[in-house]
């Protein structure tokens, strides 16, 4: 049924909506107009000698759809510390960038990423995000994403969204092949995935995604390596739990911080690493 629907979408809906003369596209261009990022330094947060180190959440989505190459190129251009992506496996075991396990949110076509080959997904058309109508915009591979950071000071930050452990070695191989072992960061909510990556290459920095900071989560991260950080959900924590991580001396970067006020509160507490959709230095 989904394949039939996708054929109808490709034959009828996409040509109509994506036609430059389409009133639907005109409206969508207004809905998904470019946004202005908010400067922390201009609002008194951070300094040149003691900055905030920012992660671009799914790239700079103020100028391009999330998890697309233009969004990451902009992050490099703006000098972000890291730029986070989400990776999933296709039917033919290729890593591609997409947050959800399904394509429904970002693309006209529907279905599970894992049900399609890379070649099939390359034929999908974006329907959401700033400048989604840009010509030639296609789902990106992990290799293409990593290429953006080669020779730059911005660090690729790879969140593993796929379940399982058997194909994680290919993530490590991709990072190593680009010469990004010391630059890349791999993140996951699944601690066993981080253990697996660490066993393959202990030199790759790992960030353990969690909700609330607890002594147990801190101890778990520290038990694996000194090269493991915590990446907690900002909304799930208060001053007491934040202080718990700071006192433990573990590296910590909060997601997702989208107001100057929240960034300032964290900065004043001593936090220097945050992930954001709309802030810049």
Q: What is the pLDDT of residue 86?
A: 98
Query: Is 232 in the same domain as 143?
Result: yes
Q: Structural domain of residue 251, as residue ranges? A: 37-280
The answer to whether the CB of 6 falls within 8 A of the CB of 109 is yes
Query: Is 149 in the same domain as 124?
Result: yes
Query: Is 131 in the same domain as 210?
Result: yes
Number of domains in the chain: 2
Which of these, 244, 234, 175, lies nearest to 209 by C-alpha position?
234
The answer to whether the CB of 151 falls within 8 A of the CB of 178 is no
Q: What is the pLDDT of residue 227?
A: 92
Query: Is 8 in the same domain as 78?
Result: no
Residue 215: CA count within 13 A, CB half-sphere:
0
Query: Is 16 in the same domain as 139?
Result: no
Query: Is 100 in the same domain as 215?
Result: yes
Query: Is 58 in the same domain as 101?
Result: yes
CATH code (residue 83): 3.20.20.190
DSSP secondary structure string, 51-94?
A: --EEEETTS-TTTS-TTSHHHHHHHHHTT-SEEEEEEEE-TTS-
Q: What is the pLDDT of residue 124?
A: 98
* CA pair distance 172, 253, nearest whole angstrom: 22
The mean pLDDT values, 10 residues at a time, for the chain of 281 residues are: 91 95 96 95 95 98 98 98 98 98 97 98 98 96 98 98 97 98 98 98 98 98 95 98 97 98 98 97 94
Query: Is 45 in the same domain as 5?
Result: no
Put residue 73 in one of left, alpha, beta given phi > 0 → left and psi -120 to 50 → alpha. Answer: alpha
Query: Is 149 in the same domain as 207?
Result: yes
Query: Is 24 in the same domain as 41?
Result: no
Query: Is 9 in the same domain as 49?
Result: no
Query: Is 181 in the same domain as 50?
Result: yes
Q: What is the pLDDT of residue 1?
A: 82
């Amino acid at each position: 049924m989904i394949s039939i629907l996708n054929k109808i979408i490709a034959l009828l809906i996409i040509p109509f909506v994506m036609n430059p003369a389409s009133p639907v596209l005109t409206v969508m261009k207004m809905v998904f107009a470019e946004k202005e990022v908010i400067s922390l330094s201009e609002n008194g947060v951070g300094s040149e000698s003691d900055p905030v180190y920012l992660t671009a959440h799914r790239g700079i989505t103020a100028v391009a759809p999330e998890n697309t190459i233009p969004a990451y190129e902009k992050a490099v251009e703006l000098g972000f510390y890291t730029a986070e992506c989400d990776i999933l496996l296709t039917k033919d075991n290729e890593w591609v960038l997409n947050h959800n396990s399904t394509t429904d949110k970002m693309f006209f076509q529907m279905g599970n990423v894992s049900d399609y080959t890379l070649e099939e997904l390359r034929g999908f058309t974006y329907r959401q995000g700033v400048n989604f109508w840009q010509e030639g915009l296609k789902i990106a591979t992990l290799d293409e994403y990593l290429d953006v950071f080669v020779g730059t000071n911005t660090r690729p930050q790879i969140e593993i969204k796929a379940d399982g452990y058997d194909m994680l070695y290919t993530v490590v191989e991709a990072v190593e092949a680009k010469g990004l072992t010391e630059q890349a960061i791999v993140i996951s909510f699944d601690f066993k995935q981080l253990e697996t990556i660490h066993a393959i290459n202990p030199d790759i920095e790992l960030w353990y995604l969690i909700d609330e900071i607890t002594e147990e989560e801190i101890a778990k991260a520290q038990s694996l390596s000194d090269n493991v950080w915590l990446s907690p959900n900002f909304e799930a924590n208060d001053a007491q739990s934040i202080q718990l991580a700071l006192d433990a001396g573990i590296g910590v970067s909060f997601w997702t911080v989208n107001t100057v006020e929240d960034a300032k509160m964290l900065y004043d507490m001593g936090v220097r690493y945050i992930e954001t959709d709309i802030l810049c230095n």
